């Protein structure tokens, strides 16, 4: 998989290089690539045997090869490279078309993280290489600039088949799950979380990033029930000023061929082959506020095509007794013309949104330290968290035995080792059982079947 030059992120706090490494004059990642292609690693020439009479004294130190200005060649493996063996693996937190997100614990720091594992073969097959690189770039930007209410990237690494992102673990899961559990949120609660989203969007705009897939599934809640925006796989880095023509280095053709987003939250300009803009995220904000207060997104139908038709015609309605200030805010965000949405004409931040009556008395400057309003209709219903999920017999990494243990965790069972194979079972039967137990042995057809079944059974 030589196409992936996927070096660990610059925000990693791991040691940079061995003490005897020579200084490089070019731009070098802080941590060397975990599995860079062999052609990018130029070691010293092999030693040759010479007669004893002419042999020169062996040097006490073999110098590193010349730096090429981009990658730092190293003749020997660096001991500080990260791998899956630096983490205990817990339950799966989510799954996508080519990625799985795991709960992991660092064996060195004992801290919990979310580890996103991406399949290289699928990325290449679906031509998602640039998307993955852009996601890493966005996460680096957000981590380096201290983006409020967004997940942070701690390190990245790879093996021959997978790419790995180690990011913030949000202990309280997706906002969508809490909306569904409570049917809808109180006005105070919706106001608080909408305010945190506004602050997050202000920072994204400041660093020229459009999320493009903002929705309750991509809004997580941390251990203190504060917002963490995640999943920047569809994000876009733009160059100002935006205009009617391309606002970045993507052509109109690539824009047409890279339709992104989720049907219920997609902004109308993206349905007519126009540029995504910061205002596209403001449209999604309006949809999310509506859903927090009603339990459902504003635009719904039995097919994506019909949903798109409703979006373009602005066909949605408010239920009886809907909060009037919230209704006014939503109407000013769900505007067909992106330049006319509330906040779109603000030069810095979104003061016009902050000053809207819906956000009266919002503690904008102390949101991060302000306890959120209670989210649960039943205070005793708050989910319990098991911080002691790593047991003494667990091993780091993700081999077959660990996958079997995790399968039990995902099904709500106690973590147990897989049973020993029965001696009387023919070899082919043992293989069949293994294919049912181990995630990596599933065929593409079986994965698609399970995803289709999950989609059919999940009403959301």
CATH number for 84-169: choose from 3.30.70.3190, 3.30.200.20, 3.40.50.2300, 3.40.109.10: 3.30.200.20
Domain with CATH 3.30.200.20 in the chain: 84-169
Q: Are 116 and 230 in contact (CB under 8 A)?
A: no
CATH code of the domain made up of 173-237+261-369 = 1.10.510.10
248 as an active site residue: the answer is: no
pLDDT in tens, the chain (460 residues): 555 555 444 444 433 334 444 444 444 344 444 443 333 333 444 444 444 444 444 444 444 444 444 443 444 444 578 999 999 999 999 888 789 999 999 999 999 999 999 999 999 999 999 999 999 999 999 999 999 999 999 999 999 999 999 999 999 999 999 999 999 999 999 999 999 999 999 999 999 999 999 999 999 999 999 999 999 999 999 976 544 334 444 444 444 345 577 899 999 999 987 888 999 999 999 999 999 999 999 999 999 999 999 999 999 999 999 999 999 999 999 999 999 999 999 999 999 999 999 999 999 999 999 999 988 655 555 555 678 888 888 889 887 777 777 776 555 544 434 444 444 444 444 444 434 444 555 666 676 777 677 666 655 4
Residues of the chain with CATH 1.10.510.10: 173-237+261-369
Measuring CA to CA, which residue among 219, 215, 254, 263 is closest to residue 236?
254
116 annotated to bind ligand: yes
pLDDT of residue 241: 55
Q: Of 213, 246, 378, 410, which one is the catalytic site residue?
A: 213
Per-residue pLDDT at 108: 94
């Amino acid at each position: 998989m030589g196409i992936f030059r996927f070096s660990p992120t610059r925000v990693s706090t791991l040691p940079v290089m061995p003490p005897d490494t020579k200084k490089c004059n070019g731009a070098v990642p802080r941590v060397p690539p975990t599995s860079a292609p062999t052609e990018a690693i130029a070691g010293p020439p092999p030693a040759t045997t010479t007669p004893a009479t002419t042999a020169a004294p062996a040097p006490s130190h073999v110098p590193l090869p010349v730096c090429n200005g981009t990658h730092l060649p190293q003749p020997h493996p660096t001991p500080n490279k990260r791998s899956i063996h630096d983490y205990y693996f817990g339950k799966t937190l989510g799954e996508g078309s080519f990625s799985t997100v795991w709960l992991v614990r660092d064996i060195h720091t004992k801290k919990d993280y979310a580890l996103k594992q991406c399949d290289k073969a699928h990325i290449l097959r679906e031509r998602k290489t640039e998307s993955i690189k852009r996601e890493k770039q966005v996460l680096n930007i957000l981590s380096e600039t201290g983006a409020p209410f967004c997940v942070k990237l701690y390190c990245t690494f790879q093996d021959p088949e997978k790419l790995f992102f180690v990011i913030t673990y949000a202990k309280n899961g997706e906002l969508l799950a809490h909306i569904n559990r409570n049917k809808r949120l109180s006005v105070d609660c919706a106001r608080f979380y909408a305010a945190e989203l506004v602050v997050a969007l202000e920072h994204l705009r400041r660093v020229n990033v459009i999320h493009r897939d903002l929705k309750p599934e991509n809004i997580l809640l941390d251990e203190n029930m504060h917002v963490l925006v995640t999943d920047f796989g569809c994000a876009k880095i733009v160059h100002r000023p935006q205009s009617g023509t391309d606002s970045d280095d993507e052509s109109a053709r690539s824009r047409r061929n890279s339709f992104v987003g989720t049907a219920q939250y997609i902004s109308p300009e993206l349905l007519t082959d126009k540029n995504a803009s910061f205002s596209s995220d403001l449209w999604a904000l309006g949809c999310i506020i509506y859903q927090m207060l009603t339990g459902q997104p504003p635009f719904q139908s039995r097919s994506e095509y019909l949903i798109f038709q409703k979006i373009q015609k602005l066909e949605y309605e408010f239920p009886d007794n809907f909060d009037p200030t919230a209704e006014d805010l939503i109407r000013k965000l769900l505007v067909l013309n992106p330049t006319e949405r509330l906040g779109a004409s603000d030069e810095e931040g979104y003061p016009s949104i902050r000053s809207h009556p819906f956000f009266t008395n919002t503690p904008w400057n102390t949101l991060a330290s302000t306890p959120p309003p209670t989210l649960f209709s039943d205070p005793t219903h708050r989910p319990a968290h098991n911080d002691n999920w790593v047991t003494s017999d667990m091993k780091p990494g993700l081999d077959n035995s660990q996958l079997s243990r995790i399968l039990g965790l995902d099904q709500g069972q106690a973590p147990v080792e897989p049973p020993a194979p029965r001696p009387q079972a023919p070899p082919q039967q043992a293989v069949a059982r293994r294919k049912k137990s181990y995630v990596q042995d599933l065929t593409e057809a079986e994965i698609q079947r399970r995803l289709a079944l999950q989609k059919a059974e999940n009403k959301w």
